[in-house]
Structure 1
Amino acid sequence: MRCFVGVPVTGSLARECKELSLGLPRATPRPNLHLTLAFLGQCTPAGVARLSGELQSLAGRFPAFELDFDCCEAFPAEQGPFLALTTTVSGPLNTLHEALWECLSRQGVEREQRAFRPHITLAKPGLALVPQTGHWLLSVDQLCLYQSEMIQGEVPTYRPLSQHPLTGMV
Structure 2
Amino acid sequence: MATNHYFIGVPLQKEKQDEFADLQKILRQEMTYKTWTHPEDFHITLKFLGACTTEQLAAIEKELQKKSWPDPFELELGPAASFGKKDQPRVFHLSVKEASPLARIKKEIEQLCEQVGFEKEDRTYKPHITLAKKWVSGLSPLSAEKVNDHFLKTYSMDVDRFCLYQIHPQQSPKYEVVCEVNLYSGGEA
Tell me if both proteins adopt one fold, taking TM over 0.5 as the criterion.
Answer: yes
Q: Deviations over 1:127-162 (max 9, x none)?
A: 33223322222322112001112215xx78111111
Q: Does the CA-based 8 Å contact 2:69-2:105 persist in structure 1?
A: no
Q: Give 5+ residue unaligned stretches, structure 1.
A: none
Aligned to 1:130: 141
CA-CA distance at 1:66 after TM superposition? 1.1
Percent identity between matched residues is 29
**Is the counterpart of residue 143 in structure 1 residue 162 in structure 2?**
yes
* Alignment TM-score, normalising by the size of structure 1: 0.87
Q: Which runs of 4+ in 1 moved over 6 A?
A: none
- 1:2 counterpart letter in structure 2: H
TM-score (norm 2): 0.79
Q: Does 1:113 align with 2:122?
A: yes
Unaligned runs of 5+ in 2: 143-150
SS in 2 for 1:67: strand
C-alpha distance in structure 1 between counterparts of 2:139 and 2:99, whole Å: 28
- 1:8 alignment partner in structure 2: 11
Q: What CA RMSD, in Å, does the superposition of the two structures yield over aligned residues? A: 2.1
Question: Rg larger in 1 or in 2?
Answer: 2
Q: How many residues align?
A: 167
2:94 is matched with 85
Deviations 1:60-115 (A, max 9, x none): 43111111013112235524212110033222211221112121122121112211
Secondary structure of the residue aligned to 2:49 is strand
Q: Does 1:70 align with 2:78?
A: yes
Contact 1:148–1:156 (CA<8 Å) still a contact in 2? Answer: no
Distance 2:124 2:182 in 1: 26
